[in-house]
Structure 1
Amino acid sequence: MGLLDRLNDDMKQAMKNKEKDKLSVLRMLKAALQNEAIKLGKSQLSEDEELTVLSRELKQRKDSLQEFENAGRTDLVEKAKAEIEIVQLYMPKQLTEEELLEIVKQTIAEVGASSKADMGKVMGAIMPKVKGKADGSLVNKLVQQQLSQ
């Protein structure tokens, strides 16, 4: 079952259960996926493209959450947290920090990086491997830690 089909089924279920907030987030996700397909001129997105859209939507919500927390808007913080939980249901299982650290070490060895000057090379090689499975800022932090040792 494709992601759009899964979203449609979950939207129907949310309507039946009168879950307005969940329905709203699912509609936003579906719209984002359809807009991306239109933008790319395709009738259906590949799994990789769907993952890119989901990652972007998740990142937007996490950024919003940070802004709301900084502004002290507890009402919006709760709403953003709920939206993040819903979006994460459609994301692949996230890597643990230990698993991610292993991938970082392997990638550094593969590209022969030895200093922070090689940061771009390492990030360019690692991000396709962990796409959708890890937060980019965490990957960046781990790569910097490894290259500064």
Structure 2
Amino acid sequence: MKKLLLIAVLLGAAYFGLIDSSWLSTENNQTGVNFEKVSETVLEHAIAGKKSNLQVEGYGTVTRILPDDNKGSRHQRFIITISSGKTLLISHNIDLAPRIDSLKTGDTLEFYGEYEWNPQGGVIHWTHHDPAGRHTPGWIIHKGKKYE
């Protein structure tokens, strides 16, 4: 019962943006709660609820690599499919974080960044550090390497 209550509180707080969902990482897991599933649920609720400006963590498979966006800050862009079958655009700032040169269609990756809803599923951005220190740092893990 205590675990169910803990899960409900964590999901609610993360869903409403009251906690930084990086706290839900497996390295902080002392309860036996499957935080990977919690993170996935938070992301699914954000998509279903058309939420934006929400820090999320998730996993996906690269289904399409798009041309870089070179207007303003440069961004490496690609589409991932998450376990629910929904697709997300990852917009990874390559002026502030290293490019993922080895990225290929079919690769899996983990991400942490800010979710913005759109009718196609949404965009994940802020997958990098903030040099000004005003935004929660994000990251992408691909083939065991962290890009931030």
More helix by share: 1
TM-score by length of 1: 0.34
Rg larger in 1 or in 2? 1
More strand by share: 2
TM-score by length of 2: 0.34
